[in-house]
Structure 1
Amino acid sequence: MPSSRPSVLPADHPLQRPASAGGTADAPLLRRYRGEAVEAAPSVWFMRQAGRSLPEYRRAREGTGMLEACRRPDLVAEITVQPVRRHRVDAGIFFSDIVVPARLAGLDVEIQPGRGPVFAHPIRTEEDVRALPSLGDDYEAALEPIREAVRLTTAELGPVPLIGFCGAPFTVASYMVEGGPSRDHLRTRALMRERPEVWARLAAWVAEASGRFLRAQVLAGASAVQLFDSWVGSLSEDVYRRHVLSHSAAVLDTVADLPVPRVHFGVGAAHLLRALHDAGATVVGVDHRLRLDRALDLLGPGVPVQGNIDPAVLFTSEAARYAEARAVLDAGAGAPGHVVNLGHGVPPETDPHVLTDLVSFLHAEPARS
């Protein structure tokens, strides 16, 4: 990061104004992220709430590739706001993909339908890492569509906070090493052990690209951030702390001087919750594999949490869904702050009416934290 980076938010940032003036400074969701007592109804948003579960998303994306859509500010803004309009969730999550920073930096990566991100040239050797593009002024200029997308989005969201988003270094670098999706990440885990210095340089490059991508979102108007680590559950805590934690910390540090909550979420990462917090998170996301009250015991006092309704209940009866939602609220009641979410993303097959009704149900429940 450039040493001259500003350490204060712009005067027109949504966090500089209360809701009565169209800002987000006093938004209940952000207050919960900050661990403040809130009397309002529970706060809720859903990972992957903007996406294939919505017919309006499919119409907006028709004929446009995923990575192209992520670089069109008008389309990003429209897609980000769609679930807020429909479901009345308490935050928008910036519509993007974890490989967008790599694409903006100049790497040849595509998202193949039915498969996911695929890199034309996997990064597996010291020479491959040396050949990565520099992250200089050209990269900073390439972030302008991201800033414009955030500006358009926050103008429409008004007092609803926008959460900035990026992928964590382990998951993004794993895609780069494997060349695409992988079940076991064997090449990545082997590289960490066989050539730890090569892994470290690759992860540091990803951390800088992702960190600057995240900071651009905040300075343009995002009121919180989430660092998403899809594959981190495949690592032991020892390996995570030795080879990964410092790189995730570097991403979160790019916004640590700004007054935004920092959420860190990993899939299948119950054994890593303390490590995820130690990486610089102020809020820890918990997936559906661990009850929130048990997560709080692992994290210790003073840590706000996010989660963790099992996405499977979106395909059950209304009674089963609401029972799980109440159980999650009760389990999170001991946290200094709890924001309701799923334990992973919204499945594409989800009936959007189910999500809308679930939000209405949660908003009718009494506050627990």
Structure 2
Amino acid sequence: MSNTGLPHEFPPLKNDLLLRAAKGEKTERAPVWVMRQAGRYLPEFRAVRAEQDFFKVCRTPELACEVTLQPIRRYKGLVDASIIFSDILVVPQAMGLVVEMIPGKGPSFPEPLKEPQDMDRLTKNVDVEKELGYVCDAITLTRQKLEGQVPLIGFCGAPWTLFAYMIEGGGSKTLQLAKTWIFKYPNESKELLQRIAIVCADFLVAQIKAGAQLVQVFDSWAGELSPADYREFSLPYNQLISKIVRTKSQELQLPKVPMCLFPKGANWGLEELAEKAGYDILGLDWVHEPATARKCVGNRVVLQGNLDPNVLYGGRDAIEREVKKMSEGFMVDGASVGWIANLGHGITPGVDPDDLKWFFECVHKYSATQS
């Protein structure tokens, strides 16, 4: 494949199933990968983490490359994409906040944003290639090491999701603090969301420049907002990311890579998001009915998803049954068209790697286009 506009030369791509599906093309079967593909369910990943801090792995291109490649090696010929090992919270770090990964607890911000004047602590103009260059270096190295086996996905968090982390100081069941901001300080909230969106967009452009062949925006807390609040405090900033990435990629003569938005929990808005968000692909959580989702979006976007990750604990018969059901729901007249098989959220740490292998094998079997 041509690398026009890229500052690097990469090995030719041998498996372009993901990229063809992302264009809405009919494919011989659905491409498949899973979110958190490089992660704690893999013993080889746990071996790396036993010796290295989480963010040190993110910040060391050789380590990030190694863990990105681990599932590609283990599931050779079964998985159709790699996703760079990183974390959505590298963006708040680049903006000047300290983020720690605490074992057994997850991400923690020792000094979150408590009131609007705390925004003064954030870096005004973030040079993403300087602050997040380690992610870009990991992408370039990984593209080389992949030797064209599968495409490489880059990503970032959505502005609303990152905003919530930056104010809550970590995960939250209610998002009380973040919602206090949007209701009490709506204008300041929009200013912060716009600042985050610009950093995210520049970061995705840098990842494309470094070699990412598809990029995904994770709006993990989309479902915590009412439809009206999502339209005001999330959708415009996801639209802004898409617009900036498209415009800057064209200006820099970078490849036009597919863009995916994963608005987890925003089940009310599938048709609206397909029409207005500005992305090629919409990720679905497991609460969507595949056939219904397909009717909602028509041919406007490609769909990605959406097996409940907990099915992977149900044994092989359950995995096969549920993958068959999912495949039948997404396919069109016996053909795999505009669908990327995935879980409806990230794979969880207790999954047996052999059960994930069976998931991949079942997708290969049941999503095959009938001749």
Of 127, 144, 155 in structure 1, the residue corresponding to residue 133 of structure 2 is: 144
Of 99, 103, 113 in structure 1, the residue corresponding to residue 103 of structure 2 is: 113
The Cα offsets for residues 4-49 of structure 1, whole Å up to 9 and x where unpaired, read as: xxxx7316465xxxxxx6226x7011100110122x2321000111
Q: What is the match of residue 45 of structure 2?
A: 57
Q: Return closer, same or farther for 1:65/1:274 CA change in 2, 3 Å cut-off.
A: farther
Q: What is the match of residue 299 of structure 2?
A: 301
- Letter aligned with residue 189 of structure 1: K
Displacement after TM superposition at 1:111 (Å): 1.6
Of 244, 248, 266 in structure 2, the residue corresponding to residue 269 of structure 1 is: 266
Aligned residues of 1:147 and 1:220 also touching (Cα < 8 A) = yes
Q: Calculate the TM-score normalised by the size of structure 2.
A: 0.90
Aligned residues of 2:154 and 2:207 also touching (Cα < 8 A) = yes
Of 319, 322, 329 in structure 1, the residue corresponding to residue 320 of structure 2 is: 322
- Letter aligned with residue 78 of structure 1: E
Deviating above 6 A after TM superposition, structure 1's stretches of 4 or more consecutive aligned residues are none
Displacement after TM superposition at 1:336 (Å): 4.1
Give the Cα separation in 1 of the matches to 2:320 and 2:281.
Answer: 25
The Cα offsets for residues 256-284 of structure 1, whole Å up to 9 and x where unpaired, read as: 24411111112222113234432221101
- Letter aligned with residue 19 of structure 2: L
Q: What is the match of residue 46 of structure 1?
A: 34
Q: What is the match of residue 30 of structure 1?
A: 19
Give the Cα separation in 2 of the matches to 1:105 and 1:182.
Answer: 21
Give the Cα separation in 2 of the matches to 1:95 and 1:356.
Answer: 20
Give the Cα separation in 2 of the matches to 1:367 and 1:250.
Answer: 36
Query: Which SS does the other structure have where 1:357 is aligned?
Result: helix
Give the Cα separation in 2 of the matches to 1:113 and 1:135.
Answer: 32
The Cα offsets for residues 216-247 of structure 1, whole Å up to 9 and x where unpaired, read as: 11111110011111111011111111122111
Aligned residues of 2:285 and 2:345 also touching (Cα < 8 A) = yes
- Letter aligned with residue 35 of structure 1: G
Q: Return closer, same or farther for 1:32/1:114 CA change in 2, 3 Å cut-off.
A: same
> How many pairs are equivalent?
353
The Cα offsets for residues 294-349 of structure 1, whole Å up to 9 and x where unpaired, read as: 11222233321001111121111212211111111111113841010001111100
- Letter aligned with residue 271 of structure 1: W
- Letter aligned with residue 315 of structure 1: Y
Q: How does 1:196-345 map to 2 (within 5 A)?
A: 196-257=186-247, 258=249, 259-277=256-274, 278-334=276-332, 336-345=337-346
Q: What is the match of residue 4 of structure 1?
A: none
- Letter aligned with residue 235 of structure 1: L
Query: Which SS does the other structure have where 2:344 is aligned?
Result: coil
The Cα offsets for residues 72-122 of structure 1, whole Å up to 9 and x where unpaired, read as: 100110111111111231000111111112213332111222222211222
Q: What is the match of residue 253 of structure 2?
A: none
- Letter aligned with residue 222 of structure 2: V
Give the Cα separation in 2 of the matches to 1:368 and 1:135.
Answer: 49
Aligned residues of 2:94 and 2:126 also touching (Cα < 8 A) = no
Displacement after TM superposition at 1:125 (Å): 2.2
- Letter aligned with residue 144 of structure 2: A
Is residue 169 of structure 1 aligned with residue 159 of structure 2?
A: yes
Aligned residues of 2:305 and 2:344 also touching (Cα < 8 A) = yes
Give the Cα separation in 2 of the matches to 1:161 and 1:352.
Answer: 22
Displacement after TM superposition at 1:194 (Å): 1.5
Query: Which SS does the other structure have where 2:13 is aligned?
Result: coil
Give the Cα separation in 2 of the matches to 1:178 and 1:308.
Answer: 28
Q: What is the match of residue 73 of structure 2?
A: 85
- Letter aligned with residue 314 of structure 1: L
- Letter aligned with residue 245 of structure 2: V
Aligned residues of 1:207 and 1:248 also touching (Cα < 8 A) = yes
Q: What is the match of residue 69 of structure 1?
A: 57
Q: What is the match of residue 363 of structure 1?
A: 364
Greater displacement, 309-318 / 27-36: 309-318
Is residue 153 of structure 1 aligned with residue 154 of structure 2?
A: no
Greater displacement, 75-84 / 241-250: 241-250
Is residue 194 of structure 1 aligned with residue 191 of structure 2?
A: no
Greater displacement, 69-78 / 352-361: 352-361
Identity of aligned residues (%): 37
- Letter aligned with residue 66 of structure 1: F
Task: Name stretches of at least 5 consecutive residues in structure 2 with no aligned partner.
Answer: 250-255
Task: Name stretches of at least 5 consecutive residues in structure 1 with no aligned partner.
Answer: 1-7, 15-20
Give the Cα separation in 1 of the matches to 2:147 and 2:240.
Answer: 30
Q: What is the match of residue 5 of structure 2?
A: 9
Task: Give RMSD over aligned pairs.
Answer: 1.9
Query: Which SS does the other structure have where 1:183 is aligned?
Result: coil
